Amino acid sequence: MSAALALGACTSNNGPSDTPTSAASEATESSDSASKAPDASESPSEEAKPDTGDAKPVATRQLPGDPADVDLELFAVRDTGTLATITVRLKNTSDKDVNLGDVIQAKDQSIPGTEETNSKLVFTTRDFHLIDNKNKKIHRAAFDTSKHCLCSDIYQQWLRAGSQVDLYTSVAPVPEGVDTVSVSIPNAGVIDDVPVVRGK
């Protein structure tokens, strides 16, 4: 059984204020905002969960944290044709534990396709988004029909000293012919020329 996703996939430039770029500011709204994926009862995030394998990161950044900085590694966007997934790895190379909510807390609490909000979305990676510069669209976090974000939950999660964690956000698939995109991540800004890898 499958159900339509409510996707905040292609929206206007009303994004977070910490992601100013010419690509993002020129992105236009699109009505193409629905896709297919399993319902929540069938583990909708299973397809999207991070699976970096032996992949190498395509970009690195340092995120300001409290009480220590955290290294971020961004991997190529994986597009299955149903969803495109942004995957990052956070590394705490310090000797102090870091609350993930202090590093990448989201600002957007809205649920796409509704007038509802959910304060718990602050503690997710739903503010990771993909910018399709070729088609001038912003792909925001996907939600299933049960209004669950297809993204990582970081509520009360700590990144222990010397440890690492992989996080993800899934969005609407990228159109064929788009080989690279930009990815916006809170506190890391916009990272350009991120490859799109297609297939399961």
Block mean pLDDT (10 aa), the chain, length 200: 44 36 38 33 47 84 82 96 96 91 90 92 95 97 94 93 95 96 95 93
Its pTM stands at: 0.78
Two tokens at 152? 């990582």
Q: Which of 6, 16, 62 is nearest to 39 (CA)?
A: 6
Q: Which DSSP letter does residue 155 get?
A: T
Two tokens at 159? 């990144």
Q: What is the pLDDT of residue 49?
A: 62
Two tokens at 91? 């590394």
Q: Are 11 and 140 in contact (CB under 8 A)?
A: yes
Two tokens at 146? 């049960």
First to last CA, the chain: 19
Q: What is the pLDDT of residue 89?
A: 96
Distance CA 169, CA 194 (A): 15
Q: Torsions phi, psi of 101, nearest 5?
A: -65, -25
Q: Which DSSP letter does residue 123 get?
A: G
- The residue whose two tokens read 């490859």 is 195
Q: What is the pLDDT of residue 6?
A: 46
Q: Torsions phi, psi of 191, nearest 5?
A: -110, 120
3-state helix, strand, coil in the chain (%, to 5): 10, 40, 55
SS3 42: helix
Query: Residue 54 contacts by C-beta under 8 Å, 6 or more apart in sequence?
Result: none
Q: Are 40 and 47 in contact (CB under 8 A)?
A: no
Q: What is the pLDDT of residue 54?
A: 75
Q: What is the pLDDT of residue 174?
A: 97
Q: What is the pLDDT of residue 48?
A: 55
